[in-house]
Structure 1
Amino acid sequence: MFFTPPLDEITRVMTAKGYKLYKGQKKGERGLNLVGIRRKTASPDKFDDTIAVFFLIPGAADVMYFSITTDPSPHYLKHPVNSAGTAILKEGQYIDTHKVSMHSPASGNKHMAVCQRLGKVTVFRDKNKDGKLDFVNPQSGMFGINIHKGPLNGNWDTRNPNYSAGCQVFADADDFKIFLDRCKKEAADVKNVFSYTLLNESDF
């Protein structure tokens, strides 16, 4: 099962770290927050991480939790697509880095997603090809660390053979549709610019 801390705990952790929270208190002001949470015992072969998608509008705050992986799959840990090593997104907040755009993986499964198109993120580069996660060699840049669809029919124990080369990937396609529809509405109503925050379970 993936980790679902209460919304007030998420906002507490983000505030303590000095991270930005979008509140959408005025018309035209951004209100959608996208927050990933990586499990303490990171498992590259499972969708055991969380993305919390929430608004903080006074009197109407709401949060939705979805099962994702924030880790690259074992296949890509053993077969990096980048000579510098497989990308593992570093915990932190990435302001105005993403937008709704077309995700175009090498597999050819193109679809709309929330893509890193606007700003840099920091990744670790794991290049020893042992299939295990090594949080070493940080590097910042434009790496296409997108938030996209994974299996058609996911569940919490679904093995993660080759869905992520460093992206944040949903376990369930129906969940992803709900997420993407919410992002599309925010893009249409406010602006097609999103920030992404990645926390650790140990932060809670």
Structure 2
Amino acid sequence: MLQSPPALILGSTSRYRRELLERLRMPFTVQSPEVDETPRPGEAPAALAVRLALAKAQAVASQHPDAVVIGSDQVADLEGKPIGKPGTHERAIEQLRAMRGKQIVFQTAVAVVCLSRGFAAQSLAPVVVRFRDLSDAEIETYLLAEKPYDCAGSAKSEGLGISLLSAIESDDPTALIGLPLIRTCELLRQAGINPLGRS
């Protein structure tokens, strides 16, 4: 008798990550990880992203030890300083003014955990983004159109936000949106779930 694959859970409240994971055409459920995302003193953006991705996966896995759980997090890295979700229009203006004309690294981490199998692994997919030297009027037009207040660094590249940028460099094309699917597939295979076979 064939053993059925473990349940797959996305430990995230992000609609962007849910939509990305749906591209893999595998059944999964979504659960909020309830993790404190406050950076630790002096914590580098990449380390913060990896720590939170793993913490999110572990938090949900603790309630579903037989499931394979995906956690992910993204932190915008401006010259070593972490920039999170703005939450408000005013904070988004501040973020985009600080980033205009500069190179930002969007540190996107993914973790996969299955407690019953003793499996836990994570991967980091940095995305280098160069912002144009934006005018205040361009920033305002973009924010009113997109309202990206739930996006790290206020940058929503899958929409009008692409016009903020002069270049994107990444080896995992969906990482900037919030879930690096190439790395996610690799970790899922290691955990026993093959997106092309469900074996």
Q: TM-score range by the shorter chain?
A: under 0.3
Return the structure number with greater strand share: 1
Structure with the larger RCO, 1 or 2 (CA within 8 Å, 6+ apart): 1
Return the structure number with greater helix share: 2
How high is the TM-score relative to the length of structure 2? 0.25
Larger Rg: 2
How high is the TM-score relative to the length of structure 1? 0.25
